[in-house]
């Protein structure tokens, strides 16, 4: 089968299209014929060599949608031909965290496509119980846009930041897939959404998906603007994924009792915090990553019950995997970049 593979870490130029052996589904696994696979920032980190415990040579791709082509031992043969989207989360299933349904806190937590070969290929093997029927409402490209971004935003807002209807949410860096997911999920939860992005086109598109206030970071000081537009109160929740470049503004934008939830550091991991502000304003700084099994399933149900529709930036052939890496790295996208074999 054809796959986008790299044999060494580095820039987008290490990604090559090669003929490799088709994986075989092990016991409890299905072989998915990939119809669409979305890129994540995770793919860039893995290609660059962070984390270091990936397989090499490596096929990336954690967000996969396709059709079940074969099943391994112990899996119902009736599933062959089923349209599925894969939850890329891997966990041990035996520890205390797994037992209480906090799979993303499992010490052995891994991600398909990061710690194993993924879906930037014609086929990928996945655990049968992580392959979910795609809601009829979604195309393969839309389904592939869901798993990482939408489960991450779902957990960040609803479980970790405990977002309530009527609250104000500020989403930073709101042209990336997960930040857009956060805007949509916050709207679905009944919150009022503020967003920071750059460029007039992104401002327009964020308003279109329901953000009430959108700030162009190249044009205005957004943390001051948030203060103004909330009647000098600040927001209840800030969703952070940028890190060093935006952290101070994000903290400044919080109301008393506000919660800052972070799942990324695309522009630098080291930040400062004034402890006096932390206790005096009674703030919470909350980390989050991925989601539990039940949160993933709730998110998938919201496609049907809440009309959640992932935003696809562009669809490119698998042969252009390198160009797709370059496009994501350049940061000009709005929503998910999807590869089709």
Query: Which stretches of the chain bind Zn ion, using CB under 5 A?
Result: 91-92, 95, 98, 106
Residue indicated by tokens 């590869």: 339
Dihedrals phi, psi of 98, to nearest 5 degrees? -65, -40
Which residue's CB atom is positioned nearest to Zn ion?
Answer: 106
Least distance between Zn ion and beta carbon 21 (Å): 30
Q: For Zn ion, give the closer residue by CB, 114 or 141.
A: 114
The 8-class DSSP code of residue 190 comes to T
Q: For Zn ion, give the closer residue by CB, 38 or 90.
A: 90
Instruction: Residue 204: count other Cβ atoms within 10 Å of its Cβ.
Output: 11
The 8-class DSSP code of residue 309 comes to -
Q: For Zn ion, give the closer residue by CB, 98 or 171.
A: 98
Is beta strand 58-59 parallel, antiparallel or unpaired with respect to 89-90? unpaired
Least distance between Zn ion and beta carbon 105 (Å): 8
Q: For Zn ion, give the closer residue by CB, 202 or 292.
A: 292
Least distance between Zn ion and beta carbon 217 (Å): 39
Q: Shortest CA distance to 9 belongs to which of 44, 40, 61? A: 44
Pull the structure tokens for residue 242: 């940028």
Residue ranges in 54-199 assigned as alpha helix (H): 96-99, 140-144, 147-154, 177-188
Distant-in-sequence, close-in-space partners of 93: CB < 8 Å, separation ≥ 6: none
Q: For Zn ion, give the closer residue by CB, 98 or 143.
A: 98
Least distance between Zn ion and beta carbon 127 (Å): 14
Pull the structure tokens for residue 251: 């903290």
Q: For Zn ion, give the closer residue by CB, 196 or 291.
A: 291
Least distance between Zn ion and beta carbon 100 (Å): 10
Least distance between Zn ion and beta carbon 129 (Å): 15
Instruction: Residue 296: count other Cβ atoms within 10 Å of its Cβ.
Output: 25
Least distance between Zn ion and beta carbon 293 (Å): 11
Q: Are 300 and 85 in contact (CB under 8 A)?
A: yes
Q: For Zn ion, give the closer residue by CB, 93 or 190.
A: 93
Least distance between Zn ion and beta carbon 156 (Å): 21
Q: For Zn ion, give the closer residue by CB, 24 or 100.
A: 100
In order, the DSSP letters of 195-254 are EEESSHHHHHHHHHTT-SEEEETTTS-HHHHHHHHTTS--EEEEEE-S-TTTHHHHHHTE
Q: Are 101 and 293 in contact (CB under 8 A)?
A: yes
With H, G, I as helix, E, B as strand and everything else as coil, classify residue 294.
helix
Q: For Zn ion, give the closer residue by CB, 192 or 293.
A: 293
Sign of CA dihedral 177, 302, 111, 76: negative
Least distance between Zn ion and beta carbon 291 (Å): 14
């Amino acid at each position: 089968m054809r796959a986008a593979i790299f044999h060494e870490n580095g820039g987008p130029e290490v990604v090559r299209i090669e003929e490799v052996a088709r994986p075989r589904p092990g016991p409890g696994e299905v072989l998915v014929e990939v119809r669409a696979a979305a890129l994540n920032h995770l793919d860039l980190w893995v290609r660059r060599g962070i984390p270091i415990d990936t397989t090499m040579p490596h096929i990336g791709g954690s967000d996969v949608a396709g059709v079940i082509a074969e099943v391994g031992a112990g899996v119902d043969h009736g599933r062959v031909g089923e349209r599925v989207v894969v939850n890329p989360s891997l966990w041990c299933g035996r520890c205390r965290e797994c037992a209480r349904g906090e799979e993303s806190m499992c010490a052995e937590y891994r991600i398909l496509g990061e710690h194993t070969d993924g879906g930037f290929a014609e086929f990928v093997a996945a655990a049968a119980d992580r392959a979910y029927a795609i809601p009829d409402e979604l195309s393969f490209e839309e389904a592939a846009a869901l798993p990482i971004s939408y489960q991450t935003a779902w957990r960040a807002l609803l479980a970790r930041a405990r977002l309530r209807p009527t609250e104000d949410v500020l989403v930073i860096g709101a042209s990336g897939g997960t930040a857009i997911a956060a805007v949509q999920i916050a709207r679905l939860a009944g919150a009022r959404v503020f967003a920071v992005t750059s460029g007039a086109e992104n401002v327009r598109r964020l308003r279109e998906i329901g953000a009430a206030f959108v700030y162009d970071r190249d044009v205005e000081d957004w943390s001051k603007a948030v203060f103004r537009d909330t009647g000098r109160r600040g927001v209840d929740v800030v969703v952070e994924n940028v890190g060093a470049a935006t952290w101070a503004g994000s903290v400044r934008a919080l109301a008393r009792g506000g919660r800052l939830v972070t799942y990324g550091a695309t522009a630098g991991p080291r930040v400062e915090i004034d402890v006096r502000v932390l206790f005096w304003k009674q703030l919470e700084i909350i980390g989050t990553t991925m989601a539990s099994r039940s949160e993933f399933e709730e998110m998938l149900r919201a496609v049907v019950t809440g009309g959640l529709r992932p935003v696809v930036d562009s669809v490119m052939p698998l042969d252009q995997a390198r160009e797709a890496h370059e496009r994501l790295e350049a940061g000009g996208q709005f929503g998910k970049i999807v590869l089709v074999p």
